[in-house]
Amino acid sequence: MRPSPFGSSKVPVAVLGATGAVGQAFVRLLAVHPWFELAEVAASERSAGRSYAEATRWIGDDEIPPRVAQLTVLPCDPRSVRSPIVFSALDSGVAGEAEAAFAKAGRAVLSNAKNYRMEPDVPLVIAEVNPDHLDVLEAQRKNRDWPGAIVTNGNCAAIAAVLPLAPLQQRFGIRNVFVATMQAVSGAGYPGVASLDILGNVIPFIRDEEPKVEAEVRKFLGHRDGDRITDASLGISAHTNRVPVEHGHMVLMSVQLQKKADLAEVIQTLSQWRGAEEACGLPSSPDRPLVLADAVDRPQPRRDVDAGRGMTVTVGRVREDPLFDVKLVALGHNIIRGAAGASVLNAELMAATGRIELP
Mean per-residue pLDDT over the chain, rounded: 97
Burial degree of 101 (CB within 10 A; 0-12, 13-18, 19+): middle
- The answer to whether 327 touches 255, Cβ cutoff 8 Å, is yes
Average pLDDT over residues 29-58: 96
- The answer to whether 27 touches 15, Cβ cutoff 8 Å, is yes
Residue 357's pLDDT is 80
Average pLDDT over residues 106-112: 98
Residue 249's pLDDT is 98
326-332 β-sheet, strand order: 235-242, 174-183, 249-257, 326-332, 313-320, 290-292
pLDDT digits (tens, 9 = 90+) for 32-43: 999 999 999 999
- Residues above pLDDT 90, as percent of the chain: 96
Residue 21 scores a pLDDT above 90: yes
Is 249 among the residues known to form the active site?
A: yes
Residue 284's pLDDT is 98
Q: Tell me the C-alpha to C-alpha distance, in Å, between residue 343 and each of 53, 87, 225.
A: 24, 7, 23
Residue 213's pLDDT is 98
Largest interatomic CA distance in the chain = 60
Residue 190's pLDDT is 87
Q: Tell me the C-alpha to C-alpha distance, in Å, between residue 248 and each of 88, 133, 198, 245, 275.
A: 21, 27, 15, 7, 22
189 compared with 174, residue with greater pLDDT: 174
| CA 190 centroid distance within chain | 18
Residue 116's pLDDT is 98
Residue 87 scores a pLDDT above 80: yes
Q: How far apart are CA 275 and CA 129, in angstroms?
A: 6
pLDDT digits (tens, 9 = 90+) for 90-102: 999 999 999 999 9
Full-model pTM: 0.97
Average pLDDT over residues 322-342: 98
Strand, coil or helix: what is 130? coil
One of 33, 76, 156, 247 is an active-site residue; which one? 156
pLDDT digits (tens, 9 = 90+) for 204-240: 999 999 999 999 999 999 999 999 999 999 999 999 9
How confident is residue 82, by pLDDT bands cut at 50, 70 and 90? very high
Residue 359's pLDDT is 76
Residue 70's pLDDT is 97
pLDDT digits (tens, 9 = 90+) for 128-158: 999 999 999 999 999 999 999 999 999 999 9
One of 33, 133, 247, 249 is an active-site residue; which one? 249
Residue 60 scores a pLDDT above 80: yes
Residue 358's pLDDT is 84
How confident is residue 57, by pLDDT bands cut at 50, 70 and 90? very high
Average pLDDT over residues 277-283: 97
